[in-house]
Amino acid sequence: MNAYPWWRGAIIYQIYPRSFLDTNQDGVGDLPGIVERLDYVASLGVDAIWVAPFFTSPMADFGYDIADYRNVDPLFGSLDDVDRLLDEAHRRGLKVMIDQVLSHTSIEHAWFRESRQSRDNAKADWYVWADARPDGTAPNNWLSIFGGPAWHWEPRRCQYYLHNFLSAQPDLNFHHPDVCEAVLDNVKFWLDRGVDGFRLDSINFCFHDAALRDNPPKPLEKRVGRGFRPDNPYAFQYHYYNNTRPENLGFLNRLRSLLDRYPGATTLGEISSEDSLATLGEYTNGQRLHMGYSFELLTEDFSVAHIRETVRNLEANMPDGWPCWAISNHDVERVVTRWGGADAPPQLANQLTAMVCSLRGSVCVYQGEELGLTEAQVLYEQLKDPYGIAFWPNYKGRDGCRTPMPWDANSHAGFTTGDTPWLPVPDDHRPLSVARQEAEPGSTLHGFRAFMRWRHAQPALRWGDIRLLDTEEPLLAFTRTLDGETVLACFNLLPDPLDVAVPLAQSVQQIEADHLLQGKLRGRHMALPGYAAFFARVANE
């Protein structure tokens, strides 16, 4: 029995409810659909599920615009369905984490409907309101992630309100003490209901600069990273004043104090700042977030140098915190396509799972990664994502990673028995369906399960320290050490075979595993096929 909390080293399976399983034939996945597939999720060997927003919402941003934090949108089910999900997941040994979108609400939230009516009502200052400049333009130069100014004119108050995302997502004013109290009370509602933790969306966006100072311009060569495209004007600024403000740290302390009253409950913060790795360290230091993740491994850079630099920088910034890694989610191109290209071989999916699940930290696995799903091609007229519609054709949005799960060979791949799914099922996903891969012993799905079983029996990979080794492309290598046991992990990141010396002076003994395309140890050399992995125990010398 280990002494670590459940979330430390956990594998967290992200479920995007809209696209998981539809049980009422309306073409949209729902909470009963998740319950129906819990046996499948448990069979993957994961520790927890993270369920994307299912709260009452007009769905301008598909649930990340919340109109009622304490209720379920009828599209997804009811509060009774949440209770059933919690009960059934816990019965199978699965923890349940849910999204909390704290920095902003929907324009349909009762708080905002009241706030927008006048400058002197009870909720008048619950959102970020500001007067126009003398010429009628927006109060400052802040930009929205979804394109254009981050300010929207409200004629009822003759003022602008702030929206860091869509104009349908007004930002709450966390400088108002009543806002902080109300937000924490909403979190407590779900803790009392029995959830095991929260994935905190854009958690560094809660506070803004009270003086509304302009953000400084960013030079062209610096417009990279953070998960934002350089052709998005959002990348044209240093976002020093519209997010990641120092006041946020005090709020995180209060949030942690609340969580500490519920033994085992955890927080995972999504962080995107000008220096996300430094912010991760700050936000997970002491009595703040339990875990954090950023976008550094959600980019297109698949190289030893990038992965090693990211991990090394995070380790330097987070000596006392605990990271959580993700290489896919509902906001980015699926990793097999992003890192392997359109013709990526099946073994790449299993190698990437092994690589990310061998790093120090917990891991979020996005639904479909266990199948090796590729990025779907969605026609413009089929797009639903407002981000993709706004930036077409340079950027096609997030719909390509949000298409329905392929379960079997039936109509719409078993996702729905209704007439039309909310997004189309791509033809190239049908051969990757769960049913088909269940019937193929050498499938990506079986490889995923086998690796998770094997990892579960490797304490060094779950909780050990990490040491990155200075190897040349395309060999990524590091060790994990716990209680005197050291495991060497090596990965050939290219499709071509690689013959290379063992990157350690100590003797090693290969760990045989049947779940990966493996390298072979030959004396002091490793023969690694393309996209192969190699694990070995390191002798104590």
Task: Give catalytic residues, as residue numbers.
Answer: 201, 270
DSSP code, position 414: G
How far is residue 72's CA from residue 58's CA, in Å, rounded to a whole number? 12
DSSP code, position 217: B
Half-sphere exposure of 140 (CA within 13 A, CB side): 24
- The CB density around residue 74, as the number of other CB atoms within 10 Å, is 10
Half-sphere exposure of 194 (CA within 13 A, CB side): 14
Residue 246 phi/psi, 5-degree rounding, is -60, -25
Closest CA to 401 of 451, 356, 366: 366
Residue 286's H or E segment, with its range, is none
How far is residue 503's CA from residue 525's CA, in Å, rounded to a whole number? 9
Assess contact for 292 and 330: CB atoms under 8 A.
no
Task: Decide the pairing of beta strands 485-492 and 533-538.
Answer: antiparallel
DSSP code, position 297: T
Residue 374's H or E segment, with its range, is none
Tokens representing 294 are 């950023």
Per-residue HEC secondary structure of 458-476 comes to CHHHHHCEEEECCCCCCEE
- The CB density around residue 105, as the number of other CB atoms within 10 Å, is 26
Q: Name the β-bridge partners of 13.
A: 49, 365
Closest CA to 156 of 115, 214, 102, 216: 115
Reduce the DSSP state of residue 22 to 3 states and report it: coil
For the chain, the distance separating the N- and C-terminal CA atoms, rounded to the nearest angstrom, is 28
Tokens representing 216 are 């400084």
Q: Name the β-bridge partners of 98.
A: 51, 198
Dihedral sign for Cα atoms in the order 108, 116, 186, 146 = positive
Tokens representing 539 are 């002798």
Residue with tokens 């991760």: 280
How far is residue 449's CA from residue 350's CA, in Å, rounded to a whole number? 10
How far is residue 534's CA from residue 520's CA, in Å, rounded to a whole number? 7
CA 312 to chain centre: 20
Half-sphere exposure of 283 (CA within 13 A, CB side): 35
How far is residue 42's CA from residue 46's CA, in Å, rounded to a whole number? 6
Contacts of 164 (CB under 8 A, 6+ apart): 103, 104, 142, 144, 145, 150, 171, 202, 205, 242, 243
